[in-house]
């Protein structure tokens, strides 16, 4: 067991990649079972790794025994272990949903390909979270993007607009990749290395200020495209609305969050929050665009009639909170962003899984079709209600804790305008999520469709994720302490 845990950083990527190749060749049900088993194993491994290395981080895993900067390394520390656990858990929930009702949204002949792409996405996201190398981060980002394009395109089987959504995603993703790799090129020209720790050490000597500025500008733009920061978000609403629900639960849960965490590591751990270009871009670009995203996304969600479109614009608004939090440039803000990422990841994944399950008992995909959801299928309605309550920041949920920490960080920074924006952004979900909760819990609906059942592989993951939001909200101290430890480690120049 110790040998497995010692090689966990490599297993996080190697296991899903190898399993993906096998899944492509399996019969449909075998591929779905393989994907679910591997995804659950990744979640178990992530928790086991966190428990076994709690006092021994950061850990540098050198592939082939070649030390950095010449060798390829993974770095597991108090900052990215939170992302690794979140990504593994959300991937497990998505894979279980694909094994259940989610897999019925596509034809059986496409299920092996879907499972293979899902495993590729999982391995690549874990690679982005773990890698200590700028170029390998680009490689993992692109593997994740290519897998996501294929997964979104699966929605074209039911609705041909899904192909257009996948194409739009591809265009924006390709632009993001181009900007990012150009930034890596400038970074290499300025420092002569690709290892994050080595880059950070060189940047302390300010070898080429103009190249550094260009590098960060391109890196920020590329990752902002990947994370769908307003106004670079045009691909997201259609992709989330038209992709199969198990795909959306994964992309909404951790897809954008991993890009945000990559940006945080580069901004705080490599360049440093006090770097002139970092502070300028975050305060003059990320902060105002994040503020607009909070208001605009919340308003669009308020007026959306389709349930998945409402959830998609809600995700855009929540991404605005993350970018605004990053722009504050303080330890408290970075810790709040980490907590917010966990809250959003768990809730978005649960929302799309539970909404898809409830849709089986309804006659449409609109918010209106949720009327009487508690009587139609209580389990999915309860999971959906808790996740919606987390979105609007109700007390006793992790969403409340995250928004409170962000508000506190903005007050500590002295940004009164950011406090106002966050307050307005916290009110808008009360309107659209509150309206949905009223229909789910308090309004009568039609009788459930006869002969329709829900797979426990769909219901249980949604319930577990929603329950985790309440448990983490009530007993938030361990997560908040872990987030502060990670933020302190990164801002203190641990990569340097």
pLDDT of residue 340: 92
- C-alpha 486/C-alpha 496 separation (Å) is 15
Please classify residue 146 by burial: count the beta carbons closer than 10 Å to its beta carbon, then call 0-12 exposed, 13-18 middle and 19+ buried: middle
Give the total residue count for the chain: 496
Structure confidence by residue, pLDDT tens digits, 30-47: 888 999 899 999 888 888
pLDDT tops 50 at residue 489: yes
Range of the domain at 343: 2-491
| Residue 434 near residue 374, CB atoms below 8 Å | no
Task: Please indicate, yes or no, if residue 278 is contained in any of the structural domains.
Answer: yes
Rounded to an integer, the average pLDDT of 114-119 is 90
Mean pLDDT of the chain: 83
Does some domain include residue 496? no
Q: Where do runs of H (alpha helix) occur along 107-193?
A: 111-130, 134-153, 161-191
Query: What's the mean pLDDT in 73-95?
Result: 87
Confidence of residue 339 (pLDDT cuts 50, 70, 90): very high
Could you identify the residue written with the tokens 């990752």? 223
pLDDT at site 495: 45
With a cut of 60, say whether residue 1 has pLDDT above it: no
Would you tell me the crossing angle of helices 416-441 and 307-327 to the nearest 10 degrees?
160
Question: How many Cβ atoms sit within 10 Å of the Cβ of residue 302?
Answer: 18
Residue 242 lies in a domain: yes
Look at residue 375 in the predicted model and tell me its pLDDT: 74
- Residue located via tokens 């691909």: 235
206-229 pLDDT, tens digit per residue, is 666 788 888 888 999 888 888 888
Residue 218 lies in a domain: yes
Q: pTM of the prediction?
A: 0.89
Q: Which two tokens stand for residue 231?
A: 């106004």
User: 229 in a domain, yes or no?
Assistant: yes
Of 119, 6, 128, 113, residue with least CA distance to 59: 6
413-460 pLDDT tens trace: 888 888 898 888 888 888 888 888 887 777 776 655 555 676 787 788
In a domain, 106, yes or no: yes
Split into its structural domains, the chain has a count of 1
pLDDT at 496 over 60: no
Buried b / exposed e along 384-422 (16+ C-beta atoms within 10 A): bbbbbbbbbbbebbbbbbbbbbbbebbeebebeebbebb
Q: Is residue 415 part of a domain?
A: yes
More confident residue, 450 or 369: 369
**Is there a contact between 245 and 355 (Cβ–Cβ < 8 Å)?**
yes
pLDDT at 69: 67
């Amino acid at each position: 067991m110790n040998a497995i845990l010692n090689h966990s950083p490599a297993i996080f990527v190697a296991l899903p990649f190898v399993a993906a190749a096998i899944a492509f060749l399996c019969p449909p049900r075998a591929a779905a079972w393989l994907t679910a088993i591997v995804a659950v194993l990744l979640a178990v491994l992530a928790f086991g790794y966190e428990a076994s290395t709690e006092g021994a981080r950061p850990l540098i895993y050198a592939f082939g025994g070649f030390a950095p900067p010449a060798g390829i390394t993974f770095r597991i520390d108090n900052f990215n272990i939170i992302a690794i656990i979140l990504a593994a858990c959300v991937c497990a929930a998505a894979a279980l949903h694909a094994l259940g009702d989610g897999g019925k949204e596509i034809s059986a002949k496409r299920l092996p390909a879907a499972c293979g792409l899902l495993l590729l996405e999982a391995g690549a996201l874990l690679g982005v979270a773990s890698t200590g190398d700028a170029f390998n981060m680009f490689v993992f980002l692109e593997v994740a993007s290519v897998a996501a394009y294929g997964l979104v395109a699966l929605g074209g089987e039911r609705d041909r607009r899904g192909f257009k959504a996948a194409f739009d995603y591809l265009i924006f993703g390709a632009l993001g990749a181009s900007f990012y790799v150009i930034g890596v090129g400038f970074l290499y020209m300025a420092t002569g290395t690709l290892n994050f720790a080595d880059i950070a050490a060189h940047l302390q000597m300010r070898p080429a200020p103009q190249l550094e500025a260009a590098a960060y500008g391109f890196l920020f733009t590329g990752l902002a495209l990947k994370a769908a920061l307003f106004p670079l978000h045009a691909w997201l609403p259609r992709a989330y609305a038209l992709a199969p629900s198990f795909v959306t639960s994964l992309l909404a849960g951790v897809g954008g969050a991993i890009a945000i965490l990559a940006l945080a590591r580069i901004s705080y751990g490599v360049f440093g929050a006090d770097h002139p270009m970092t502070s300028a871009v975050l305060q003059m670009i990320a902060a105002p665009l994040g503020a607009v995203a909070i208001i605009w996304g919340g308003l669009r969600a308020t007026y959306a009639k389709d349930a998945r479109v409402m959830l998609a614009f809600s995700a855009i608004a929540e991404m605005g909170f993350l970018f605004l939090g990053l722009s504050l440039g303080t330890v408290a803000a970075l810790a709040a962003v980490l907590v917010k990422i966990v809250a959003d990841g768990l809730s978005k994944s649960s929302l799309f899984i539970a909404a898809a399950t409830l849709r089986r008992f309804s006659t449409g995909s609109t918010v209106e079709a949720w009327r009487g959801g508690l009587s139609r299928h209580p389990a999915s309605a309860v999971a959906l209600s808790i996740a919606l309550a987390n979105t609007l920041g109700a007390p006793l949920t992790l969403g409340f804790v995250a928004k409170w920490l962000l508000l506190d960080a903005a007050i500590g920074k002295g940004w009164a305008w950011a406090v106002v924006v966050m307050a307005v952004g916290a009110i808008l979900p009360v309107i659209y999520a509150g309206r949905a909760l009223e229909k789910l819990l308090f309004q009568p609906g039609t009788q459930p469709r006869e002969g329709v059942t829900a797979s426990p592989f769909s219901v249980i993951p949604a319930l577990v994720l929603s329950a985790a939001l309440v448990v983490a909200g009530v007993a938030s101290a361990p997560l908040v302490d872990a987030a502060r430890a990670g933020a302190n480690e990164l801002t203190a120049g641990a990569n340097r």
